[in-house]
Amino acid sequence: MERIDYTVKLLAANVSAQSTIILCFYTGSLPRDCAPMPRDPAPAVGASFDERFAEVLADATQLNPAVHDGAIMIGRTNPDSPYMISNWSFRLFAKSQTLSIETNRGSAFNSCIAMSLVDGVDVLYLISRVGAEKCVRGKSVLL
CATH of domain 2-142: 3.40.1700.10
Give this prediction's pTM: 0.92
Distance from C-alpha of 143 to C-alpha of 123, rounded to nearest angstrom = 13
Q: Which pLDDT band, with edges at 50, 70 and 90, does 61 fall under?
A: very high
Rounded mean pLDDT of the chain? 90
Q: Looking at the predicted structure, is the pLDDT value of residue 95 above 90?
A: no
Name, in order, each residue with C-beta under 8 angstroms of 33's C-beta and a sequence gap of 6 or more: 92, 93, 94, 95, 96, 115, 118
Task: Give me the percent of the chain exceeding a pLDDT of 90.
Answer: 71
The domain ranges of the chain are 2-142
